[in-house]
Each structure stands twice: as C-alpha cells, then as structure tokens.
Structure 1
Amino acid sequence: MKYLILILIITTSLFSKNVKIDKAVAVGIFDENGNGENIQHLRETKNDYNGLCYSKIVVFGNYQNQKIDVKIGKSIGHKIKSIPIYSKNKTKIGEEISFKHYNITKGYFEVKIENKLFDTKVFVK
C-alpha cells in the first residue's frame, strides 16, 4: 500500500504543470505597412489603426501553451510569431508574441491569459 501511494505521488508531481506568469503587457501596435508605435506608457494611440494591424505583447514567466487572448475592441488577434526572451545567464524569462488583427475599428487593447486580465489600459483609435 505504501508503494502504491508513493508511486501515485511521484506520477502526479511529474505530470503537474509549473505555470507561473509574472507579467503580460502590451508593447506595440503596427499597421500593415509596418508603421507603428510603442504603447507601453500610453493611454491612447496617436495613429488610427482601422482594418488590418499587428500587435506585440510580452509575457514574463512560464505560460506553457495556455490560451492567450489578445483583443482590440471586438477584433480577436491570431498568433503569428513567438520569440523567446533570455536573461544574461541565458535562461528563458519570457516570450515576445506577435498577433494579427482583422477588421479593427476602435476599442481597448486587452491581454488575457486563461481568462485572467493582465493589461487593458490602451485605447486604440
């Protein structure tokens, strides 16, 4: 019986996820021509982004393929690229993720991971 409990504890700890997200922030927004702006410390974008645009977010921590929802108004972003971020000691500390948005009108830029809201401060014109 003791061996069965020990095996059960070992297998559950091996298959459990180590998910810890420290921060997820919106970094930039770009139009289809590549013109854009850094939105880290803004409340409202300077340019209008109607139609097709691209956005970048940075996730610090280990999110292990959890569902990331990035919205601008009612437009849902589609993940197109991910670049890992490394520290000086060459350990992975996060990822920069790019999204493509279709039919942008205007609204708030929202970053959610597993339905937990991380960033929503920027209003996109």
Structure 2
Amino acid sequence: MQKKILVVDDELLIAQGWKMCLELEGFVVDFVLGVKEAIKKIEEREYDLIITDLKMPELDGEVLLQYLQESKLPSKVIISSGHIGNDDHLEKYEFEKIVEKPFNIEHEIEAIKELLKD
C-alpha cells in the first residue's frame, strides 16, 4: 500500500518540489499552501506523514502542530522551515524531525523512506 504524504508550505515551488520528488519514490502526495487548507485535507483523508513549514502568512505552522496533537491523528510529522531559530518552544509538540531550509532533498527523501518503512 502506498504511503500518503501531505506537504504544507506557503511557497509553491517548495511544495511542488516535495511533491515531484516524493512521487518519483512511489508516495502519494498532496500539497496545500496554508494551514486552513491542510486541516481540510486532513479531515478528508488520513496521511502517514505531514511535512509542514512553520512560518506562513495566514496561520503559523504551530497552529497545525497543535491541531494534530489535539486530534491525536496517527500521522508522523516533519517540520521543514527556514526560520527554526530557537526551537525550545516546539518541544511541546510531537514530531519526528526538523529539516532546516535549504536542505538536501535526496538526503531527506532517504530519511522519509526510512521513517515510513513498514
């Protein structure tokens, strides 16, 4: 069964890049450009992994992290951001990894494959 991934990033090119690279590896990938759209997608479909940016104009990625934690969904989470800075405030959320932009996509794809293997 193919693993499903949701990418949440306000930068279209980054979201499309994740989608293209992950689909080449056999994953089913949706992407959205904001937190409101992400929550709608998550309510429609179950995802094995959610990759989310932190700093987005409409709603911050932390809102999505809080939503995921409160809803107790089984999705794994990777934070992908160019604005990590002091990440102590993120300790209250459950996530697998923080990927700081810019990143090596090949390295991250391998990490994702390892994270999602059965």
Instruction: Answer whether TM exceeds 0.5 for this pair.
Output: no
Higher strand share: 1
Q: Which has the higher contact order (CA 8 A, sep 6+)?
A: 1
User: Normalized against structure 1, the TM-score is what?
Assistant: 0.24
Higher helix share: 2
User: Normalized against structure 2, the TM-score is what?
Assistant: 0.25
Which one has a bigger Cα radius of gyration? 1
